[in-house]
Structure 1
Amino acid sequence: MKFQCRWKKLKVRKMIYIIIFIFIIFLVEFRSLNHTNNIINYTQKPTSHLVEPDENFEIISTVHNLTRRFLSYVEVSEKYSKDIHFNIIRTKEFKKYIYFSKVENKYYFLPRQKIVRKITANIQKRGRYILYGASICIGDFLGFSEHYENFEHSEEIIVIPKLIDFCDIDDRLGGFIGDISVNRFIFEDPVLTVGFNDYTYQEPQKMISWTQSAKYGKLMVKNYDYTLELYVTVLLNIDYKNNDFINVIENCYSMTRSVCEYLENKKVKYKFITNSSFDGSIPIWSKSCDGWGSNYLEEILESLGRASYLNMETFEDLLYRAETVAEYGYAHIIITPDISQEQFLLIDYLKHKTCQEVCTIKIKQED
């Protein structure tokens, strides 16, 4: 009898434990079904905003459980531009579609847990690429229902044009830059006056200083400073309609990058003007200002990475625009896929206005 009583008590206790356990499970399930907001936080960003073609970089994804609950099932589906290539990734995680690709992973989360994942990637072609964010599926405690949250991002990765060998650039521009450096000691700077000399009847009348002539009782001429600072305007034209336009324009962008970096190495201040359209934010060339240094070059490289194959204006209009902002002593480097006889006449106007030579680099498909 005693044994039977003990057995009955054990069975009752067991049933009580089971009921309590089931009650707890349903309580947790009820909470998971009724608290579906602000469960998960998600961020996505690249380690580098500007990258070279085929350069490896990392995409850092962070998923954070904001609650004090255990999440038994979380599926993260991340969306990327389709031309982003991932170096190490399992095939079952990766899905490629027509316009984008997805990387899918499944996790479980402890309370307040944060998971950080780094994926190594690279991009082969110049251009603007987007990290679109992720869609996250969160299952309830028992797996009876699912809740979706979308995290839309627009993080950009800009792939800049390839760099052309500096030996080739030096062959094209070395003599031209050298001629400008010599000319800056030939052309007089009408702003800086360092002294006065007697009039020898060889100087033009505009050099006579009438105040100094009245002071000394004889004709005196101004003595100017002959060290004119070196400036260059880089003009990029992509107005080109032949069948090979994509490869030729890509070569134009690569040549432009190489020329700008060459001028940086020579410590030459330069201005950048183009008729190219672009993807994304405002380009540096819309400002039409002089510059030099790593920040200025980085802005131009980003603009070249964003540049498309559509031109905003014709080559003639670009030359007219360049002529309106051209100043005395400015040299010009023109990078173009093609050039006509009429366009050479417009280039002569630039020479006449600036009293400097114009270097024209004509790009071909094999450049």
Structure 2
Amino acid sequence: MGMAWLIIIALVLIIIQSILFTKWGLSRIGYTRFFSDDAVFEGEEVEMIEQISNKKLLPVPWLRLESHISADLQFQHQHELEIADQQFHRSLFSLMPFQKITRRHKVTCKKRGHYRLNTVEMTNGDLLGLNGTHGKLQVSAELIVYPKLLSIEEIFLPSHSLQGDYSVKRWIIEDPFMKVGIRDYLYGDAMNSINWKATARAGTLQVNQKDFTADHHLMIYLNFELTDDIWMPIMDRPLIERGISYAATIAQYALDQGIPTGFSCNSYIKNFDQPNEKEPIRILPKNSQHQLTLLLETLAKLQMDRRVSFQSFLQEEAEQQMPNTDILLITGYLSEKARERIQQLEAQGHAVEIFWLSTNSEKESESMEEEKQYV
């Protein structure tokens, strides 16, 4: 008889604790998560910080949190963190009454992007793990990963001569609209800077000396088009990603030199609140720290897709009637119509330089030279 009562009491206690933890286990549970930095560069580390608290007298024997996180945010393995398929993250907690736990996870940012973590699935169980309740929390955490920056010294443009290429650094500093005199030809000078009348008089090659002016404005264009078919998905994503890194590097350097710099392209930024809306991108040249942040954030958020064809984009730019601007056009492909639009921009008084993207640096230099001569 005594054993029977023990069994009955045990069953009653099991039922009572199951009811208690099922009904109130998830009540007054607080959870937040955030990143240690709002923005970092591709390849850098950041911490994702989780804070969970039990704000009641009833303990929580176990609580599992599950969330979907992009595989491009690579978490270091920890014993309390389980990662499935590099995307589904599960954390297990056990909370005493009025206890708060903080966990820090080191994350390597493998790819540029705009990452939003919006929801967390919670599962709570009783002492014996017999019953569980589920809930969902709206918990926002946001991280912007800027494109990887390169060395400006490694980025070259064609010299339009047989002497070789010259650096973007030098092209940015010299203003093609401001001629201040004549000087002797130097290795790597652009062929179109030669002053033939002065050369005839001097008997040696002479070039127009250019200088920096306060009116020097730079606009960077990036083409996401690799074929004439706008509906075809972008097949060479690494090539476009390299173009984005070039754009970020050049923009940062130009702004550091005090040159107002802007950016535009035929891609778009995804609007999380209105997913079907494709926001066009056109940032006018300015010179400020805020401008650099805006450019880097925009480049981080660019979608690997096209809003319009590149020739339509260039037509839109031509219709803006900008004042004389230095345009650096980063592209891996140009259609015949796009070339016509470039000529239209040049006819308006803009200095257009083509930076040709290719799968290897040697071909990149050769292709840039051929395209510029063609245009």
Q: TM-score, normalised by structure 1?
A: 0.72
The 1:244/1:145 distance shift into structure 2, 3 A limit, reads closer
How many Å separate the matches in 2 of 1:23 and 1:234?
Answer: 73
Look up the match of 1:11.
none
1:265 aligns with 2:265: no
The 1:248/1:85 distance shift into structure 2, 3 A limit, reads same
Answer yes or no: is the 8 Å Cα contact 1:246–1:309 preserved in 2: yes
Q: 1:113 aligns with which of 72, 94, 99?
A: 99
1:358 aligns with 2:352: yes
Q: 2:341 aligns with which of 343, 346, 355?
A: 346
Q: Deviations for 1:2-42, whole angstroms, at most 9, x for unmatched residues?
A: xxxxxxxxxxxxxxxxxx99999987765445435633121
Amino acid of the structure 2 residue aligned with 1:264 = L
SS of structure 1 residue aligned to 2:155: helix
Look up the match of 1:101.
88
Look up the match of 2:48.
59
Deviates most, 257-266 or 341-350: 341-350
Deviates most, 119-128 or 57-66: 119-128
Amino acid of the structure 1 residue aligned with 2:42 = P
SS of structure 1 residue aligned to 2:153: helix
Deviates most, 296-305 or 169-178: 169-178
Amino acid of the structure 2 residue aligned with 1:102 = H
Report the alpha carbon displacement of residue 341 of structure 1 after superposing the two structures with TM. Answer: 5.1
Answer yes or no: is the 8 Å Cα contact 1:164–1:258 preserved in 2: yes
How many Å separate the matches in 1 of 2:262 and 2:72?
Answer: 33
Q: How many residues align?
A: 306
The 1:27/1:104 distance shift into structure 2, 3 A limit, reads closer
Cα RMSD over matched residues? 3.4
Deviates most, 127-136 or 324-333: 127-136
Answer yes or no: is the 8 Å Cα contact 2:115–2:143 preserved in 1: yes
Q: TM-score, normalised by structure 2?
A: 0.70
Look up the match of 1:206.
none
1:238 aligns with 2:224: yes
The 1:53/1:114 distance shift into structure 2, 3 A limit, reads same
SS of structure 1 residue aligned to 2:57: coil
Q: Counterparts in 2 of 1:122-141, with a 5 A limit?
A: 122-140=108-126
How many Å separate the matches in 1 of 2:136 and 2:325?
Answer: 53
Q: Counterparts in 2 of 1:1-367, with a 5 A limit?
A: 31-36=20-25, 38-90=27-79, 93-97=81-85, 100-105=87-92, 107-140=93-126, 143-169=129-155, 171-180=166-175, 183=178, 229-241=215-227, 245-280=236-271, 286=281, 288-340=283-335, 342-353=337-348, 355-367=349-361
How many Å separate the matches in 1 of 2:25 and 2:249?
Answer: 53
Answer yes or no: is the 8 Å Cα contact 2:64–2:90 preserved in 1: no
Report the alpha carbon displacement of residue 262 of structure 1 after superposing the two structures with TM. Answer: 1.5
Unaligned runs of 5+ in 2: 1-8, 157-165, 182-211, 229-233, 362-375
Report the alpha carbon displacement of residue 297 of structure 1 after superposing the two structures with TM. Answer: 1.6
Report the alpha carbon displacement of residue 304 of structure 1 after superposing the two structures with TM. Answer: 1.5
Answer yes or no: is the 8 Å Cα contact 1:263–1:270 preserved in 2: yes
